[in-house]
Amino acid sequence: MRKRAVLLAAGALVGFQDSDLDGVPDEVDRCPDTPLLAVVDRWGCPVEREFRDVFERGRKKRVRYYLKLGFSHSKDKGYESNALTLSLAVSRKPFYASYSTRYYAYYPYAPGEGLGDSSLYLSYRKTFSRTLSVFGFRLKLPTGRKGISTRRVSYAPSVFLDYFSPAGWDAFLYASYTFKAGNDALFLSPGLGYEFTDRLYASLSLDLSENASGSFERYATVFFMLDLTDRLYVTATLSKGLSPDALDRSLSVKLGVRF
């Protein structure tokens, strides 16, 4: 069985976790840390008779590392930007940590190109029957070049709830609240996803992002994930603005590697 994709955060790291690489996503894996080549059932448990021996031999594979390289593009009236993105992550059930940054190859204002701000993300997940809960905390650091960086530190606690149906679809809700020097902002993203094949997952969400004036920008976001191999995967996220004050469109494509 292959991995099911999970949208963990809109506009942030997007993907799924399968820490023991047994083909069963962490959120439904009842037998974590199974050996890499073990044959498992739909719940990630070895089907071999010697269950205890197989389980014990796989306990050493508790920590996983992830690398993501990507490209993002945003466009609006009088505004356009292109950036290269880098994400490094490590997971040890039930915790996950990542570092992300980007380099602007084209920026409409001075200095035109340079390093953007970076962020640190920590999360803790808990599974209740078919419902996954992820509690996260993101810290944005003003590491970018002058003219690109916001020059402000911000932090955002978040919660992600996802219900998985036996039929292959899931319903999720992501919510975060960003604290940033008096311009606090709420973000909501309800949506639906479906696992078309063992390799392909897609989701559609309605994103509501509070701006400085207190109104909500509305976006329709489509997310795709395709497994290329057991270690390589590709994600694509396309957002379209639905309200007059929303960014016209944005696209993000990333190649991920699991170690």
Residue 231: per-residue pLDDT: 86
The more confidently predicted of residues 124 and 27 is 124
The answer to whether residue 49 sits within a structural domain is no
Identity of residue 74: S
Q: For residue 25, what pLDDT is reported? A: 59
Residue 57 pLDDT exceeds 50: no
Q: Is residue 91 part of a domain?
A: yes
Q: Tell me, yes or no, whether 23 lies in a domain.
A: no
Domain assignment present for residue 3? The answer is: no
Closest C-alpha to 68, from 238, 204, 240, 236:
236
Name the least confident of 57-66, 92-101, 110-119: 57-66
Banded model confidence at residue 128, pLDDT cuts 50, 70, 90:
confident
Greater pLDDT, 13 or 147: 147
Q: What is the pLDDT of residue 198?
A: 86
Average pLDDT over residues 167-187: 91
Task: Give me the number of domains the chain comprises.
Answer: 1
Three-state DSSP state, 52: helix
Q: CA-CA distance, 169 to 56, in Å (whole number)? A: 33
| Residue 4 belongs to a domain | no
Burial of 234 (0-12, 13-18, 19+ CB in 10 A): middle
> Would you give the end-to-end CA distance of the chain in angstroms?
19
* CATH number of the domain encompassing residue 195: 2.40.160.40
Q: Which of 106-110, 123-127, 205-209 has the lowest mean pLDDT?
A: 106-110
Q: Which residues of 135-162 are buried (b: 16+ CB within 10 A; e: fewer)?
A: ebebebbeebbeebbeeeebebebebeb
Q: Is the pLDDT reported for residue 53 higher than 50?
A: no
Residue 20 maps to a domain: no
Query: Distance between CA atoms of 92 and 97, rounded to whole angstroms?
Result: 9
Q: How many CA atoms lie within 13 A of 191 on its CB side?
A: 24
Angle at 221 between CA 70 and CA 240, to 5 degrees: 95
Indicate whether 117 belongs to any domain: yes
**What are the residues facing 128 on neighbouring strands?**
131
Task: Tell me the C-alpha distance between 90 and 3, whole Å.
Answer: 18
Residue 72 located in a structural domain:
yes
The range of the structural domain enclosing residue 241 comes to 63-258
Q: Which of 116, 119, 115, 84 is nearest to 98 (CA)?
A: 119
